[in-house]
Structure 1
Protein backbone atom coordinates (compact mmCIF):
# COMPACT_ATOMS: atom_id res chain seq x y z
CA UNK A 1 0.00 0.00 0.00
CA UNK A 2 1.30 3.45 -0.90
CA UNK A 3 0.84 4.80 2.62
CA UNK A 4 3.55 2.50 3.92
CA UNK A 5 6.24 4.33 1.95
CA UNK A 6 6.09 7.33 4.29
CA UNK A 7 6.20 7.47 8.10
CA UNK A 8 2.69 7.47 9.51
CA UNK A 9 3.36 10.61 11.56
CA UNK A 10 4.66 12.44 8.49
CA UNK A 11 1.48 11.54 6.60
CA UNK A 12 -0.49 13.57 9.12
CA UNK A 13 2.04 16.36 9.38
CA UNK A 14 3.50 15.62 12.80
CA UNK A 15 6.89 14.07 12.21
CA UNK A 16 8.48 16.37 14.78
CA UNK A 17 5.90 16.10 17.57
CA UNK A 18 7.01 15.15 21.07
CA UNK A 19 8.00 11.48 21.45
CA UNK A 20 5.97 9.06 23.54
CA UNK A 21 7.07 8.26 27.07
CA UNK A 22 10.02 5.91 27.49
CA UNK A 23 9.15 2.21 27.43
CA UNK A 24 11.07 -0.95 28.22
CA UNK A 25 12.48 -2.94 25.29
CA UNK A 26 14.02 -6.40 25.66
CA UNK A 27 16.92 -7.58 23.51
CA UNK A 28 16.29 -10.71 21.43
CA UNK A 29 19.28 -12.41 19.76
CA UNK A 30 17.61 -13.48 16.53
CA UNK A 31 18.95 -16.35 14.42
CA UNK A 32 17.31 -18.99 12.25
CA UNK A 33 13.75 -19.95 13.06
CA UNK A 34 11.35 -22.58 11.72
CA UNK A 35 8.35 -20.36 11.01
CA UNK A 36 4.87 -21.62 10.18
CA UNK A 37 5.42 -19.64 6.96
CA UNK A 38 8.68 -20.93 5.43
CA UNK A 39 10.90 -18.20 4.03
CA UNK A 40 10.96 -19.82 0.58
CA UNK A 41 7.34 -21.01 0.65
CA UNK A 42 8.53 -24.60 1.12
CA UNK A 43 10.74 -25.42 4.10
CA UNK A 44 13.48 -22.80 4.51
CA UNK A 45 13.87 -21.31 7.98
CA UNK A 46 13.49 -17.59 8.53
CA UNK A 47 16.62 -15.59 9.34
CA UNK A 48 16.01 -12.97 11.99
CA UNK A 49 18.48 -10.23 12.84
CA UNK A 50 18.93 -9.25 16.49
CA UNK A 51 16.24 -6.78 17.54
CA UNK A 52 14.56 -5.26 20.57
CA UNK A 53 10.89 -5.77 21.41
CA UNK A 54 8.65 -3.78 23.70
CA UNK A 55 8.25 -5.86 26.84
CA UNK A 56 4.50 -5.20 27.06
CA UNK A 57 1.71 -4.19 24.66
CA UNK A 58 0.89 -0.50 24.45
CA UNK A 59 -1.75 0.37 27.05
CA UNK A 60 -4.76 2.66 26.96
CA UNK A 61 -2.96 5.13 29.21
CA UNK A 62 0.06 5.22 26.91
CA UNK A 63 -2.06 5.65 23.80
CA UNK A 64 -4.09 8.38 25.49
CA UNK A 65 -0.87 10.29 26.17
CA UNK A 66 0.04 9.79 22.51
CA UNK A 67 -3.21 11.18 21.13
CA UNK A 68 -2.98 14.14 23.48
CA UNK A 69 0.46 15.02 22.14
CA UNK A 70 -0.48 14.02 18.57
CA UNK A 71 -4.11 15.22 18.35
CA UNK A 72 -4.38 14.36 14.66
CA UNK A 73 -4.77 10.74 15.90
CA UNK A 74 -7.82 11.50 18.06
CA UNK A 75 -10.87 9.53 16.96
CA UNK A 76 -12.71 12.75 16.06
CA UNK A 77 -9.89 14.00 13.85
CA UNK A 78 -8.23 11.03 12.19
CA UNK A 79 -9.08 10.77 8.46
CA UNK A 80 -11.11 7.76 7.37
CA UNK A 81 -8.25 6.64 5.13
CA UNK A 82 -6.24 5.89 8.30
CA UNK A 83 -8.85 4.28 10.58
CA UNK A 84 -12.36 2.90 10.35
CA UNK A 85 -15.38 4.14 12.31
CA UNK A 86 -14.70 1.84 15.28
CA UNK A 87 -11.32 3.43 16.01
CA UNK A 88 -11.09 3.98 19.80
CA UNK A 89 -14.89 3.88 19.92
CA UNK A 90 -14.87 2.24 23.37
CA UNK A 91 -13.21 5.29 24.94
CA UNK A 92 -15.53 7.64 26.82
CA UNK A 93 -14.40 10.56 24.66
CA UNK A 94 -11.75 11.40 22.11
CA UNK A 95 -9.41 12.39 24.94
CA UNK A 96 -10.74 10.33 27.87
CA UNK A 97 -10.70 6.59 28.60
CA UNK A 98 -13.75 5.79 30.74
CA UNK A 99 -14.88 2.50 32.34
CA UNK A 100 -14.58 0.44 29.13
CA UNK A 101 -10.92 1.32 28.58
CA UNK A 102 -8.95 1.06 31.81
CA UNK A 103 -5.48 2.63 31.89
CA UNK A 104 -3.49 -0.60 32.35
CA UNK A 105 -5.40 -2.62 29.75
CA UNK A 106 -3.83 -3.01 26.31
CA UNK A 107 -5.15 -0.47 23.85
CA UNK A 108 -7.36 -2.04 21.17
CA UNK A 109 -9.52 -0.79 18.29
CA UNK A 110 -6.47 0.84 16.73
CA UNK A 111 -5.64 0.68 13.03
CA UNK A 112 -2.32 -0.40 11.53
CA UNK A 113 -1.68 3.24 10.62
CA UNK A 114 -2.28 4.41 14.19
CA UNK A 115 -0.13 1.64 15.65
CA UNK A 116 2.70 2.47 13.27
CA UNK A 117 2.42 6.16 14.15
CA UNK A 118 2.64 5.39 17.84
CA UNK A 119 5.73 3.23 17.34
CA UNK A 120 7.38 5.99 15.30
CA UNK A 121 6.77 8.34 18.24
CA UNK A 122 8.90 5.94 20.31
CA UNK A 123 11.58 5.92 17.59
CA UNK A 124 10.51 2.37 16.84
CA UNK A 125 8.37 0.39 14.38
CA UNK A 126 5.92 -2.47 14.33
CA UNK A 127 7.65 -5.87 14.46
CA UNK A 128 7.69 -8.04 11.37
CA UNK A 129 5.79 -11.33 11.46
CA UNK A 130 8.94 -13.43 11.79
CA UNK A 131 10.13 -11.28 14.70
CA UNK A 132 6.77 -11.55 16.44
CA UNK A 133 6.43 -15.30 15.86
CA UNK A 134 10.02 -15.89 17.02
CA UNK A 135 9.45 -13.94 20.24
CA UNK A 136 6.06 -15.56 20.90
CA UNK A 137 7.56 -19.07 20.73
CA UNK A 138 9.31 -18.55 24.09
CA UNK A 139 8.18 -19.47 27.56
CA UNK A 140 9.76 -18.78 30.93
CA UNK A 141 12.45 -21.44 30.45
CA UNK A 142 13.31 -21.72 26.76
CA UNK A 143 13.41 -19.56 23.65
CA UNK A 144 11.44 -22.07 21.58
CA UNK A 145 8.82 -23.92 23.60
CA UNK A 146 6.54 -24.85 20.72
CA UNK A 147 7.24 -28.57 21.05
CA UNK A 148 6.02 -28.50 24.66
CA UNK A 149 2.36 -29.59 24.90
CA UNK A 150 1.93 -27.36 27.96
CA UNK A 151 2.93 -24.31 25.87
CA UNK A 152 0.41 -25.18 23.18
CA UNK A 153 -2.36 -25.85 25.68
CA UNK A 154 -1.74 -22.53 27.43
CA UNK A 155 -1.82 -20.63 24.15
CA UNK A 156 -4.92 -22.43 22.90
CA UNK A 157 -6.75 -21.80 26.18
CA UNK A 158 -6.98 -18.14 25.20
CA UNK A 159 -9.09 -19.00 22.16
CA UNK A 160 -11.67 -20.65 24.43
CA UNK A 161 -12.19 -17.44 26.40
CA UNK A 162 -15.31 -15.51 25.30
CA UNK A 163 -14.44 -12.40 23.30
CA UNK A 164 -16.79 -10.40 25.52
CA UNK A 165 -14.61 -11.05 28.58
CA UNK A 166 -12.97 -7.80 29.81
CA UNK A 167 -9.30 -7.62 28.92
CA UNK A 168 -6.85 -8.15 31.78
CA UNK A 169 -4.22 -5.55 32.54
CA UNK A 170 -0.80 -5.95 30.96
CA UNK A 171 1.96 -7.35 33.14
CA UNK A 172 1.83 -11.13 32.85
CA UNK A 173 4.76 -13.37 33.73
CA UNK A 174 7.90 -12.61 31.67
CA UNK A 175 9.30 -15.14 29.24
CA UNK A 176 12.96 -16.09 28.92
CA UNK A 177 13.63 -12.83 27.05
CA UNK A 178 11.80 -10.68 29.59
CA UNK A 179 8.82 -10.09 27.26
CA UNK A 180 5.26 -10.33 28.58
CA UNK A 181 1.79 -11.04 27.22
CA UNK A 182 2.67 -12.17 23.70
CA UNK A 183 0.17 -15.00 23.96
CA UNK A 184 -3.17 -14.94 25.72
CA UNK A 185 -3.98 -11.23 25.95
CA UNK A 186 -4.74 -9.64 22.54
CA UNK A 187 -4.06 -10.12 18.87
CA UNK A 188 -1.20 -7.86 17.78
CA UNK A 189 -0.50 -5.94 14.59
CA UNK A 190 2.69 -6.74 12.67
CA UNK A 191 4.24 -4.56 10.03
CA UNK A 192 3.86 -7.03 7.14
CA UNK A 193 0.38 -8.32 8.06
CA UNK A 194 -0.93 -7.95 4.49
CA UNK A 195 1.85 -10.06 2.93
CA UNK A 196 1.62 -13.14 5.15
CA UNK A 197 -0.33 -15.37 2.76
CA UNK A 198 1.13 -14.12 -0.53
CA UNK A 199 3.05 -16.84 -2.35
CA UNK A 200 6.80 -16.61 -2.84
CA UNK A 201 6.24 -17.25 -6.56
CA UNK A 202 5.03 -13.98 -8.09
CA UNK A 203 2.76 -15.94 -10.42
CA UNK A 204 0.70 -16.86 -7.35
CA UNK A 205 0.22 -13.29 -6.18
CA UNK A 206 -3.17 -11.83 -6.96
CA UNK A 207 -3.04 -9.13 -4.28
CA UNK A 208 -4.97 -11.16 -1.74
CA UNK A 209 -4.32 -14.92 -2.10
CA UNK A 210 -6.95 -15.47 0.55
CA UNK A 211 -7.40 -19.14 -0.24
CA UNK A 212 -3.82 -19.96 0.76
CA UNK A 213 -4.89 -20.66 4.32
CA UNK A 214 -7.69 -23.03 3.34
CA UNK A 215 -7.71 -26.63 2.17
CA UNK A 216 -4.60 -27.82 0.38
CA UNK A 217 -2.93 -24.45 0.75
CA UNK A 218 -2.58 -24.96 4.49
CA UNK A 219 -0.63 -28.16 3.96
CA UNK A 220 2.41 -26.14 2.89
CA UNK A 221 2.63 -24.42 6.27
CA UNK A 222 5.17 -25.69 8.77
CA UNK A 223 4.45 -26.58 12.41
CA UNK A 224 0.82 -27.44 11.60
CA UNK A 225 0.34 -28.65 15.17
CA UNK A 226 0.72 -25.03 16.32
CA UNK A 227 -2.85 -24.23 15.42
CA UNK A 228 -2.90 -21.04 17.47
CA UNK A 229 -0.09 -19.51 15.44
CA UNK A 230 -1.82 -20.42 12.20
CA UNK A 231 -4.97 -18.77 13.51
CA UNK A 232 -3.03 -15.54 13.99
CA UNK A 233 -1.75 -15.74 10.41
CA UNK A 234 -5.28 -16.21 9.10
CA UNK A 235 -6.69 -13.38 11.20
CA UNK A 236 -3.95 -10.86 10.37
CA UNK A 237 -3.99 -11.64 6.67
CA UNK A 238 -7.74 -10.91 6.55
CA UNK A 239 -7.30 -7.33 7.74
CA UNK A 240 -7.01 -3.97 6.03
CA UNK A 241 -4.69 -1.31 7.45
CA UNK A 242 -7.69 0.80 8.49
CA UNK A 243 -9.42 -2.03 10.39
CA UNK A 244 -9.91 -1.99 14.15
CA UNK A 245 -11.26 -4.80 16.34
CA UNK A 246 -12.13 -5.34 20.01
CA UNK A 247 -9.13 -7.58 20.67
CA UNK A 248 -6.44 -6.21 18.36
CA UNK A 249 -3.59 -4.25 19.94
CA UNK A 250 0.11 -3.85 19.27
CA UNK A 251 3.62 -3.47 20.60
CA UNK A 252 6.70 -1.92 18.99
CA UNK A 253 10.14 -3.16 17.98
CA UNK A 254 13.54 -1.64 17.22
CA UNK A 255 16.34 -2.91 15.03
CA UNK A 256 19.71 -3.41 16.71
Structure 2
Protein backbone atom coordinates (compact mmCIF):
# COMPACT_ATOMS: atom_id res chain seq x y z
CA UNK A 1 0.00 0.00 0.00
CA UNK A 2 1.45 3.36 -1.05
CA UNK A 3 0.62 5.02 2.29
CA UNK A 4 2.68 2.45 4.16
CA UNK A 5 5.61 2.93 1.74
CA UNK A 6 5.63 6.64 2.57
CA UNK A 7 5.85 5.94 6.29
CA UNK A 8 8.71 3.51 5.81
CA UNK A 9 10.55 5.84 3.43
CA UNK A 10 10.41 8.75 5.84
CA UNK A 11 11.60 6.60 8.73
CA UNK A 12 8.81 7.67 11.04
CA UNK A 13 8.22 4.36 12.77
CA UNK A 14 8.14 5.33 16.43
CA UNK A 15 9.99 3.53 19.18
CA UNK A 16 8.99 5.49 22.27
CA UNK A 17 5.97 3.95 24.04
CA UNK A 18 2.84 6.04 24.62
CA UNK A 19 0.99 6.07 27.91
CA UNK A 20 -0.66 2.79 28.79
CA UNK A 21 -4.17 2.36 27.45
CA UNK A 22 -6.88 -0.21 28.11
CA UNK A 23 -7.41 -2.88 25.47
CA UNK A 24 -10.31 -5.35 25.40
CA UNK A 25 -9.87 -8.92 24.16
CA UNK A 26 -12.22 -9.90 21.33
CA UNK A 27 -12.55 -13.59 20.45
CA UNK A 28 -12.96 -13.24 16.69
CA UNK A 29 -14.57 -15.90 14.53
CA UNK A 30 -16.70 -16.07 11.40
CA UNK A 31 -18.48 -12.80 10.75
CA UNK A 32 -21.06 -11.82 8.14
CA UNK A 33 -19.57 -8.52 7.04
CA UNK A 34 -21.40 -6.13 4.74
CA UNK A 35 -18.30 -6.57 2.57
CA UNK A 36 -18.30 -10.34 1.90
CA UNK A 37 -14.88 -11.94 1.90
CA UNK A 38 -15.25 -13.31 -1.63
CA UNK A 39 -17.12 -10.30 -2.99
CA UNK A 40 -20.37 -12.28 -3.07
CA UNK A 41 -21.52 -14.01 0.11
CA UNK A 42 -18.64 -15.56 2.06
CA UNK A 43 -18.29 -14.69 5.73
CA UNK A 44 -15.11 -13.00 6.92
CA UNK A 45 -12.81 -14.81 9.32
CA UNK A 46 -11.65 -12.50 12.12
CA UNK A 47 -8.69 -13.66 14.19
CA UNK A 48 -8.76 -12.97 17.94
CA UNK A 49 -7.46 -9.48 18.64
CA UNK A 50 -7.39 -6.72 21.22
CA UNK A 51 -8.99 -3.33 20.66
CA UNK A 52 -8.59 -0.07 22.51
CA UNK A 53 -11.61 0.33 24.74
CA UNK A 54 -11.95 4.03 23.89
CA UNK A 55 -10.98 6.30 20.99
CA UNK A 56 -7.73 8.23 21.33
CA UNK A 57 -8.42 11.56 23.06
CA UNK A 58 -7.11 15.06 22.55
CA UNK A 59 -5.09 14.77 25.76
CA UNK A 60 -3.49 11.51 24.63
CA UNK A 61 -2.66 12.83 21.19
CA UNK A 62 -1.24 16.02 22.70
CA UNK A 63 1.13 13.91 24.81
CA UNK A 64 2.11 12.02 21.65
CA UNK A 65 2.80 15.25 19.75
CA UNK A 66 4.96 16.56 22.59
CA UNK A 67 6.95 13.32 22.65
CA UNK A 68 7.21 13.20 18.84
CA UNK A 69 7.38 16.84 17.66
CA UNK A 70 7.59 15.82 14.01
CA UNK A 71 3.82 15.33 14.32
CA UNK A 72 3.14 18.91 15.45
CA UNK A 73 0.90 20.70 12.99
CA UNK A 74 3.63 23.26 12.29
CA UNK A 75 6.23 20.58 11.52
CA UNK A 76 4.38 17.66 9.97
CA UNK A 77 5.30 16.94 6.36
CA UNK A 78 2.58 18.02 3.92
CA UNK A 79 2.58 14.55 2.37
CA UNK A 80 1.45 13.15 5.75
CA UNK A 81 -1.37 15.56 6.65
CA UNK A 82 -3.42 18.25 4.96
CA UNK A 83 -3.77 21.86 6.09
CA UNK A 84 -6.65 21.10 8.47
CA UNK A 85 -4.52 18.76 10.60
CA UNK A 86 -5.14 19.64 14.28
CA UNK A 87 -6.26 23.10 13.15
CA UNK A 88 -8.89 23.27 15.92
CA UNK A 89 -6.21 23.23 18.63
CA UNK A 90 -5.19 26.59 20.06
CA UNK A 91 -1.55 25.94 19.22
CA UNK A 92 0.81 23.34 17.83
CA UNK A 93 1.23 21.87 21.32
CA UNK A 94 -1.76 23.31 23.19
CA UNK A 95 -5.43 22.37 23.15
CA UNK A 96 -6.95 25.68 24.28
CA UNK A 97 -10.22 26.28 26.08
CA UNK A 98 -12.44 25.16 23.20
CA UNK A 99 -10.94 21.66 22.91
CA UNK A 100 -11.62 19.31 25.80
CA UNK A 101 -8.96 16.80 26.87
CA UNK A 102 -11.46 13.91 26.97
CA UNK A 103 -12.98 14.56 23.56
CA UNK A 104 -11.92 12.17 20.80
CA UNK A 105 -9.09 13.65 18.80
CA UNK A 106 -10.17 14.52 15.25
CA UNK A 107 -8.62 16.26 12.23
CA UNK A 108 -5.89 13.62 12.22
CA UNK A 109 -4.72 11.89 9.06
CA UNK A 110 -4.37 8.13 8.55
CA UNK A 111 -0.62 8.61 8.71
CA UNK A 112 -0.83 10.36 12.07
CA UNK A 113 -3.25 7.80 13.47
CA UNK A 114 -1.05 4.91 12.38
CA UNK A 115 2.04 6.60 13.86
CA UNK A 116 0.27 7.08 17.17
CA UNK A 117 -0.77 3.44 17.28
CA UNK A 118 2.79 2.35 16.50
CA UNK A 119 4.00 4.45 19.44
CA UNK A 120 1.66 2.36 21.58
CA UNK A 121 2.96 -0.93 20.19
CA UNK A 122 -0.24 -1.29 18.18
CA UNK A 123 -1.76 -0.60 14.77
CA UNK A 124 -5.05 0.59 13.34
CA UNK A 125 -7.73 -2.12 13.21
CA UNK A 126 -8.67 -3.43 9.80
CA UNK A 127 -12.22 -3.03 8.51
CA UNK A 128 -13.42 -6.50 9.50
CA UNK A 129 -12.09 -6.04 13.05
CA UNK A 130 -13.76 -2.66 13.40
CA UNK A 131 -17.06 -3.85 11.96
CA UNK A 132 -16.99 -6.96 14.17
CA UNK A 133 -16.52 -4.87 17.32
CA UNK A 134 -19.09 -2.27 16.25
CA UNK A 135 -21.80 -4.90 15.66
CA UNK A 136 -22.13 -5.56 19.41
CA UNK A 137 -24.38 -3.88 21.93
CA UNK A 138 -24.39 -4.13 25.73
CA UNK A 139 -25.54 -7.76 25.78
CA UNK A 140 -25.16 -9.21 22.27
CA UNK A 141 -22.14 -9.82 20.07
CA UNK A 142 -24.22 -9.07 16.99
CA UNK A 143 -27.15 -6.68 17.39
CA UNK A 144 -27.40 -5.68 13.74
CA UNK A 145 -30.72 -7.44 13.14
CA UNK A 146 -32.42 -5.30 15.80
CA UNK A 147 -34.26 -2.36 14.16
CA UNK A 148 -34.02 -0.34 17.39
CA UNK A 149 -30.23 -0.74 17.39
CA UNK A 150 -30.02 0.46 13.81
CA UNK A 151 -32.29 3.43 14.53
CA UNK A 152 -30.01 4.50 17.38
CA UNK A 153 -27.07 4.55 14.97
CA UNK A 154 -28.97 6.47 12.32
CA UNK A 155 -30.08 9.07 14.86
CA UNK A 156 -26.44 9.95 15.46
CA UNK A 157 -25.87 10.58 11.75
CA UNK A 158 -28.45 13.37 11.87
CA UNK A 159 -26.20 15.32 14.24
CA UNK A 160 -24.62 18.38 12.55
CA UNK A 161 -20.96 17.75 11.73
CA UNK A 162 -19.95 21.12 13.21
CA UNK A 163 -21.57 20.47 16.61
CA UNK A 164 -19.13 20.18 19.55
CA UNK A 165 -18.08 16.63 20.27
CA UNK A 166 -19.01 15.15 23.64
CA UNK A 167 -16.37 13.66 25.90
CA UNK A 168 -15.87 9.92 25.55
CA UNK A 169 -17.11 7.53 28.21
CA UNK A 170 -20.29 5.97 26.86
CA UNK A 171 -21.65 2.64 28.03
CA UNK A 172 -19.48 -0.35 27.05
CA UNK A 173 -20.67 -3.02 24.66
CA UNK A 174 -20.46 -6.69 25.56
CA UNK A 175 -16.70 -6.70 24.83
CA UNK A 176 -16.04 -3.67 27.03
CA UNK A 177 -15.51 -1.37 24.02
CA UNK A 178 -16.93 2.15 24.30
CA UNK A 179 -17.93 4.86 21.82
CA UNK A 180 -17.21 2.84 18.70
CA UNK A 181 -20.20 3.88 16.61
CA UNK A 182 -20.34 7.43 17.97
CA UNK A 183 -19.38 10.25 18.56
CA UNK A 184 -16.83 10.06 15.69
CA UNK A 185 -15.99 8.13 12.54
CA UNK A 186 -12.82 6.04 12.88
CA UNK A 187 -9.89 5.31 10.60
CA UNK A 188 -9.16 1.69 9.74
CA UNK A 189 -5.90 0.30 8.44
CA UNK A 190 -7.28 -0.80 5.06
CA UNK A 191 -9.55 2.21 4.47
CA UNK A 192 -8.44 2.63 0.85
CA UNK A 193 -9.14 -1.01 -0.01
CA UNK A 194 -12.85 -0.87 0.81
CA UNK A 195 -13.98 -1.21 -2.79
CA UNK A 196 -17.15 -3.19 -3.32
CA UNK A 197 -16.62 -6.26 -5.47
CA UNK A 198 -18.92 -6.92 -8.39
CA UNK A 199 -21.46 -9.71 -8.57
CA UNK A 200 -23.32 -11.59 -11.29
CA UNK A 201 -25.42 -8.55 -12.19
CA UNK A 202 -22.31 -6.74 -13.41
CA UNK A 203 -22.29 -8.73 -16.67
CA UNK A 204 -18.60 -9.65 -16.25
CA UNK A 205 -17.39 -6.05 -16.00
CA UNK A 206 -15.50 -5.82 -12.68
CA UNK A 207 -15.23 -2.04 -12.90
CA UNK A 208 -18.94 -1.26 -13.21
CA UNK A 209 -19.67 -1.39 -9.49
CA UNK A 210 -16.62 -0.48 -7.46
CA UNK A 211 -17.11 2.57 -5.34
CA UNK A 212 -19.28 4.01 -2.58
CA UNK A 213 -23.01 4.31 -3.27
CA UNK A 214 -22.71 2.93 -6.79
CA UNK A 215 -21.55 -0.36 -5.35
CA UNK A 216 -24.16 -0.61 -2.63
CA UNK A 217 -26.30 -3.14 -4.52
CA UNK A 218 -23.44 -5.63 -4.20
CA UNK A 219 -23.39 -5.43 -0.41
CA UNK A 220 -24.92 -7.82 2.07
CA UNK A 221 -27.35 -6.53 4.73
CA UNK A 222 -28.25 -3.43 2.75
CA UNK A 223 -30.59 -2.34 5.55
CA UNK A 224 -27.52 -1.55 7.66
CA UNK A 225 -27.28 1.88 6.11
CA UNK A 226 -25.14 3.36 8.89
CA UNK A 227 -22.31 0.92 8.16
CA UNK A 228 -22.60 1.56 4.42
CA UNK A 229 -22.19 5.28 5.09
CA UNK A 230 -18.91 4.57 6.87
CA UNK A 231 -17.63 2.56 3.93
CA UNK A 232 -18.52 5.38 1.56
CA UNK A 233 -16.82 7.93 3.80
CA UNK A 234 -13.62 5.93 4.21
CA UNK A 235 -13.46 5.04 0.53
CA UNK A 236 -13.57 8.71 -0.39
CA UNK A 237 -10.55 9.69 1.74
CA UNK A 238 -6.83 9.83 1.10
CA UNK A 239 -4.28 8.96 3.78
CA UNK A 240 -3.32 12.60 4.36
CA UNK A 241 -6.91 13.85 4.64
CA UNK A 242 -8.38 15.11 7.90
CA UNK A 243 -12.00 15.86 8.82
CA UNK A 244 -13.92 17.39 11.72
CA UNK A 245 -15.33 14.05 12.82
CA UNK A 246 -12.71 11.43 11.93
CA UNK A 247 -10.90 9.93 14.93
CA UNK A 248 -9.35 6.54 15.60
CA UNK A 249 -8.51 3.79 18.05
CA UNK A 250 -5.78 1.15 17.97
CA UNK A 251 -5.68 -2.65 17.87
CA UNK A 252 -3.18 -5.36 18.81
CA UNK A 253 -2.94 -9.10 18.13
CA UNK A 254 -4.34 -11.33 20.85
Offset of residue 5 of structure 1: 3.9
Of residues 167, 174, 177, the one that matches 2:175 is 177
Over the aligned positions, Cα root-mean-square deviation in angstroms equals 1.9
Change (3 A) 1:11 1:55: farther
| Runs of 5+ unmatched residues, structure 2 | 200-204
Alpha carbons of structure 1 residues 11 and 77: separation in structure 2 relative to 1, 3 Å: farther
CA distance in 2, matches of 1:58, 1:28: 19
Correspondence 1:212 to 2:211: yes
* Residue number among 156, 161, 164 corresponding to 1:163 in the alignment: 161
Relative distance call for 1:104 and 1:36 in structure 2 (3 A) is same
Q: CA deviation at 1:235?
A: 0.3
Note if contact 1:139-1:176 (Cα within 8 Å) is conserved in structure 2: yes
TM norm structure 2: 0.93
Q: CA deviation at 1:116?
A: 0.1
Secondary structure of the structure 2 residue equivalent to 1:219: helix
Q: CA deviation at 1:15?
A: 3.8
The offset of 1:102, in angstroms, is 1.0
Check conservation: 2:50, 2:251, Cα contact below 8 A.
yes
Please report how far the alpha carbon of residue 18 of structure 1 lies from its aligned counterpart in structure 2 after TM superposition. 2.1
What secondary structure does 2:163 align onto? coil
The answer for unaligned runs of 5 or more in structure 1 is none
Tell me, in whole angstroms, the C-alpha distance in 2 between the residues paired with 1:17 and 1:182: 27
Following TM superposition, by how much is the alpha carbon of 1:17 offset from its aligned partner in structure 2, in angstroms? 4.2
CA contact (8 A) 2:156 2:182 kept: yes
Residues 125-150 of structure 1: CA distance to partner in whole angstroms, max 9, x if unpaired?
00000000000000001000001111
Name the counterpart of 1:119: 117
- Tell me the distance in 2 between the aligned counterparts of 1:86 and 1:72: 16
Shift of 1:197: 1.0
C-alpha distance in 1 between matches for 2:130 and 2:218:
20
Q: Which string of whole-angstrom CA distances, capped at 9 and with x for unpartnered residues, describes residues 172-219 of structure 1? A: 000000000011210000000000015379x736xxx8853334x311
* 1:130 alignment partner, one of 128, 131, 147: 128
> Does the 8 Å CA contact 1:17/1:69 hold for their aligned counterparts?
no
| Length-normalised TM-score, structure 1 | 0.92
